[in-house]
Structure 1
Amino acid sequence: MSSNHTPTSFGRQLVRRKPIIFQRRHHQGEELSRNLGTFQLMMFGVGATVGTGVFFVLSSAVPLAGPAVILSFLLAAVAAGLSALCYAELASAIPVSGSSYSYTYHALGEGPAVLVGGAVLLEYGLAVSAVAVGWSGYFNELLLQLFHFELPTALSLTFIPNPDGSPNGGFINLPAVVLIGLCMLLLIRGASESATVNAIMVCVKLGVLLLFVVLAFTAFNADHFANFFGQASGISGAAGVIFFSYIGLDAVATASEEVRNPQKAIPRAIIGALLIVTVIYVLVSVAGLAAEPASWFATKEAGEAGLAKILLHVTGSPVWPIVLSAGAVISVFSVTLVTLYGQTRILFSISRDGMVSKKFERVSPRFGTPVFNTLTVSIIVALVAGFVPADYLWDSVSFGTLVAFSIVAISLMVLRRTHPEIERPYKVPFGPWVVPILTVLVCVYVLTQLQPITWIICVSWLVIVFLFYVAYGRRRATLNTYTSDEEISEPIHPELEDQAK
């Protein structure tokens, strides 16, 4: 396109929208290989979701809500489910990489897209690090059970003191760093290979979690559910802590440009993943509380490979904890893999739009993947995982997820009104307003339950992102090369108008 474009005022640049180009090409820039099918994509969603909430978050959520944490899981599932329907429609209408960032750019404009992109990069980056830190605990537990050996504290914990200020004797969480390095190598190799490995690991993890449910129910104690609503005031707060574990639904949409027939595959994969995830979460939380009282989940023992410890208490045999720890090691590998994948694909889209260096969109002719992008992201999140405890990361992940889900719902309503001509193979039920509005209300409510320090950290990050955009991105944005503001605001290119209609 011609670059003879009169500079747009800063205010107009913030609200200019990225054109929607139909069918043959969805964007300018490099292309990714389309190798993924519906089942692989659904397993992406399950792989990025099941594992985080179940294996780690009970020790953080149960002390807040008590037995009513089951309702916290359902509240988070409702919010995620409403948003999943919005994602499904937008992904079927605009099957491009970038997920919530790309949808926002098309619907609301460049400024909102920059902020959503910042929130999602924070969400995915910290999720990768937090999950890798949690994986380290299960890896150490597996070593202990199998070989009566575990890594020294200096190599399995960070140097940052405990929440009470006491030293923990650690220096670097080496297993977390190694895990991210392995995922990086697999992602560089190719998306299809990564999806196949992930699907296998997802099947293993589901089998292990169902085994946990069956064994834990053998120790069912109804007294553990007495005074069910004793900590009802903590239900929404626990839901906020849990919400990060539904990040996998967003991860499905990030794979849009590597999917065969994305208009049909993505909605099916998102909804299918949501149903599987919700059932597993509720079953495991009920089974865990059936076996152990809510007070136990606040102990140090529960925070270190808690589900494995429950099986040890229930069965008295080290065999089942070993099986569960092995399943956790495998399953959390898949969470890290898919979340890291989502992070790189969002950054790929942002780079293609000129907001960051074009190096991040370069696709290797040998592997068909963004190698520089994957290397850079992996190094950064590995450093965070190696030196920052997971307790400092979870709520910030939830913040990014909730912001992304809310903006996706708003984008859907805007696009329904401004561009009704777009073909939508899937549409949210009950019209274009009910589900999106409910999504925003639920997400905003859960956001208000997050800790003030989380808001301070996340808002500060978004301010940094916006300042970077002002100093760098707005002058290099790809839309600056369009020939007129009319072309920017018009979603259909003339040569494709008949096809779109």
Structure 2
Amino acid sequence: MMQQATSQLTHLLEQNQQPATPKKLHLLPLVFLIFFEVAGGPYGEEQAVGAAGPLFAILGFLIFPFIWSMPEALVTAELATTFPGNGGYVIWAHRAFGPFWGSLMGSWKFLSGVINLASYPVLCIDYLKLVIPVISSGFPHYFAVFLSTCVLSFVNYTGLAIVGYTAVTLGVLSLLPFVILTIVAIPKIEPSRWISLGQKGVKKDWRLFFNTLFWNLNFWDNASTLAGEVEHPQSTFPKALFSAGLLTCLAYLIPLLAATGAIPLNQENWVDGYFADVAEIISGKWLKFFVEIGACLSIIGLYEAQLSSCAYQILGMANLGILPQVFEVRSTHFGTPWPGILLSTLIALAVSYLNFSNIISCVNFLYSLGMLLEFASFLWLRRKLPEIERPFRVPLGPPGLIVLCIVPSGFLVYVMVVATKTVYLVSALLTVFGVLWYFSMKLCKSRMWLAFKNVEEKLADEFD
């Protein structure tokens, strides 16, 4: 009798603590979330001009999307519509090769994402300190990073739909100064400047050039972790990826053409942040200030999009039984996965106070490992599950699919080959951590120390 009463009481408590039904993401917010996952605007593309000159920079941002971004986006569109659940690439690796590889994919992608996340509040404060000098260093600087991280994370906690429409607003405002810059620059453009191979005596830095292209045009798969929160993902995801791809290419190319065509080339000046100086040269200090404000807004958008991806990846891993069920908990008011948001925020705060030049390189290495596993999962799932319904299907046969994946995989291998010994060491340690984490979770499950979903067991027969 007592057991029955306790059971009824538990049931009533669970009913009262049911999370709010989260609003689904529609097409426009998803487009801008993908845009911020990948780019966030032309901020950061300046180094391509400094490394190889205007012509190669223009050709790079014109051609590279077809040989790198398009394959990644096509793979994401097919897999996200075929397996439209939270977790994205973790689900794909799990279905293709089993729970171990799903967990390792989750470790690689989560670590790369959350450490990237840590850099955004720091960059935001770096821009704000131009207006508020007191936060340049010392305790005020650290407190400003802490406060901005907490505030931005709270916005994420208030709901993915709010984050999506915030991304739309931030996207429009951060791109507006470049629309103005382009219009003002048109009368000053000399097309002959576009075909410049660079200044004489300035050596080309191809490693910097390709890294700039690579890291300004990747992460197309990050939004796949939100697939379970998208309205009609089978039709919405392909449209959103295509629209975000077009927006990203235009956001890079048009300002680049305007800036390189309107001012004489001084290649050494083309470093991160130079667009603000270009704006001042073309139209005055007011436009430079507008570009700097746009950069700050873009960073906020990058943070919100990346945090959403990390948090819903954690939720998806709990749904798969890779992480404990506690990570499935959602806010009772907003329906957001607050344990994933909290975990991502705490790690980002810890990393944000470190010197992470080498750590960011390790993050890139881990991301490359994850992408190689993602392409392998895509090809294997085509062979393993040929009859499964694919609402969006890449229109290629096996040979074409292999070529589609091999070309971008070559760039991933290049990024890994040119890494330093420190990067190899730290990446190896983080990978070992991911392996140990999987077996520790497996031990917790077998000893029933923590509660897990049984999805993993249901799918285990596929890999025996």
TM-score class, shorter: 0.7 to 0.9
TM-score relative to the length of structure 2: 0.82
Aligned residue identity for 1:65: A
Equivalent position of 1:85 in the other structure: 74
Cα 1:39–1:480, aligned 2, differ >3 Å: closer, same or farther?
closer
**Counterparts of 1:232 and 1:75 in 2: how far apart (Å)?**
22
Q: Which residue of 2 aligns with 1:451?
A: 419
Which whole-Å deviations, capped at 9, do the CAs of 1:127-182 have from their partners, x for residues lacking one? 212233322333234x2xxxxx5234315xxxxxxxxxxxxxx9955544333222
| 2:236 is the counterpart of 1:270 | no
Instruction: Give the CA deviation at 1:228.
Output: 4.7
CA positional deviation for 1:97: 0.9
User: Is 1:407 the counterpart of 2:402 in the alignment?
Assistant: no
Indicate the larger mover: 371-380 or 228-237. Answer: 228-237
Counterpart for residue 7 of structure 2: none
**Residue number in structure 2 paired with 1:496:** none
RMSD of aligned alpha carbons? 3.3
Scaled by the length of structure 1, what TM-score is found?
0.77
Separation in 1 of the partners of 2:101 and 2:229?
Answer: 25
| Residues 75 and 212 of structure 1: CA distance in aligned 2, closer, same or farther (over 3 Å) | same
- Equivalence for 2:13: none
Q: Classify the secondary structure of the residue corresponding to 1:417.
A: helix
Distance 1:326-1:470 versus aligned 2 partners, 3 A rule: same
Question: Offset at 1:379?
Answer: 2.1
In structure 2, the residue matched to 1:162 is: none
Give the drift of 1:340: 0.9
The structure 2 residue matched to 1:309, chosen from 267, 277, 281, is 277
1:391-402 aligned at under 5 Å gives the runs 391-392=357-358, 394-402=360-368
CA 1:457–1:216 in structure 2 vs 1: closer, same or farther (change >3 Å)? farther
Aligned to 1:17: none
Work out which of the residue numbers 216, 236, 251 in structure 2 matches 1:245.
216
Residue among 183, 187, 195 paired with 2:152: 183
SS at match of 2:129: helix
Q: In structure 2, what is the Cα distance between the partners aligned to 1:441 and 1:214?
A: 37
1:65 aligns with 2:52: yes
Which residue of structure 1 lines up, in the alignment, with residue 133 of structure 2?
150
How far apart are residue 209 of structure 1 and its match? 2.5
Q: Alpha-carbon deviation of 1:63?
A: 4.0
The 3 A distance-change label for structure 1 pair 55 and 86 is: same
Q: Any idea what SS the aligned residue of 2:86 has? A: coil
Match of residue 111 from structure 1: 100
* 1:380 partnered with 2:347: yes
CA gap 1:232/1:285 in 2 versus in 1, 3 angstroms:
farther
Q: How far apart in 1 are the matches of 2:455 and 2:114?
A: 32
SS at match of 2:197: coil
Say if 2:347 is the partner of 1:347. Answer: no
> Structure 1 regions of 5+ residues with no counterpart?
1-29, 144-148, 156-169, 492-501
How many residues align? The count is 434
Alignment match of 2:183 (pick from 214, 234, 253): 214
Higher alpha-carbon deviation: 116-125 or 437-446: 437-446
Answering whether residue 44 of structure 2 is matched by residue 56 of structure 1, we say yes
CA shift for structure 1 position 326: 1.8
1:78-135 superposed Cα distances (whole Å, 9 cap, x missing partner) = 3121110011011111101111111111112222222221221122112212233322
Match of 1:167 in 2: none
What amino acid does structure 1 have at the position aligned with 2:403? Answer: I
Matched, 1:296 2:284: no
Q: Which ranges in structure 2 are unaligned for 5 or more consecutive residues?
A: 1-18
Instruction: Answer with 305-314 or 252-261: which moved more.
Output: 305-314
Residue 469 of structure 1 pairs with residue 438 of structure 2: yes
The structure-2 alpha-carbon separation of the partners of 1:447 and 1:426, relative to structure 1 and needing over 3 Å to count, comes to same
Which residue in the other structure is 1:489 paired with? Answer: 461
User: Which residue matches 1:124?
Assistant: 113
**8 Å CA contact 1:44, 1:251 repeated in 2:** no
Q: Which moved more, 1:259-268 or 1:115-124?
A: 115-124
d(CA) in 2 for partners of 1:205 and 1:184?
20
Of all paired residues, the percent bearing the same amino acid is 18
Match status 1:133 vs 2:122: yes
**Residue 249 of structure 1: SS of its match in structure 2?**
coil
Indicate yes or no: 2:408 matched with 1:442. yes
